[in-house]
Amino acid sequence: GDSVTQMEGPVTLSEEAFLTINCTYTATGYPSLFWYVQYPGEGLQLLLKATKADDKGSNKGFEATYRKETTSFHLEKGSVQVSDSAVYFCALTHASGGSYIPTFGRGTSLIVHP
């Protein structure tokens, strides 16, 4: 079955540091890939997405590139802020036919210190 593997957290950074959160996946066909963010006390919200190989999703300074050859979708940000402290989830979905079960990684907690 499908699976998503994220790097273990927490990731602790100082403000303005560079962020990478690794995500790799196992899936048949051509899934769509997503990063969701969950701020403390809130529900998950979509951060960015990519629907085909080599697509780059970007939002709020975050970006991730759909790499089919390495089955990866790593999240990056050039300069993190304290307000980016949250839990980040990598996820995939199949956009066509058959049994449709979205799959999420277990999440990576990011803590940004001033």
Partner 1 sequence: DTGVSQDPRHKITKRGQNVTFRCDPISEHNRLYWYRQTLGQGPEFLTYFQNEAQLEKSRLLSDRFSAERPKGSFSTLEIQRTEQGDSAMYLCASSSDARGGSYEQYFGPGTRLTVT
Residues in contact with partner 1 by CB under 8 A are: 4, 32, 34, 36, 42-46, 49, 51, 89, 91, 93, 95, 99-107
Q: What does DSSP say about strands 103-104 and 75-77: parallel, antiparallel, or unpaired?
A: unpaired
Q: Which is nearer to partner 1, 36 or 77 (CB)?
A: 36
Beta strands in 1-114 (DSSP E): 3-6, 11-14, 19-21, 23-26, 32-38, 44-50, 56-59, 62-65, 75-77, 86-93, 103-104, 108-113
Q: Any idea which residue has 């701020």 for tokens?
A: 39
Instruction: Give the whole-angstrom CA distance, residue 89 versus residue 44.
Output: 9
Q: Which is nearer to partner 1, 14 or 59 (CB)?
A: 59
Nearest approach in angstroms of CB 71 to partner 1 is 18
And the tokens for 63? Answer: 């970006």
> Rounded to the nearest whole angstrom, what is the least distance from the CB of residue 103 to partner 1 in the complex?
7
Task: Report the residue number, 56 or 106, with the smaller CB distance to partner 1.
Answer: 106
Cβ 50 to partner 1, closest distance in Å? 9
Q: CB 91 → partner 1: shortest distance, Å?
A: 8
- Output 41 or 114, the one with its CB closest to partner 1: 41
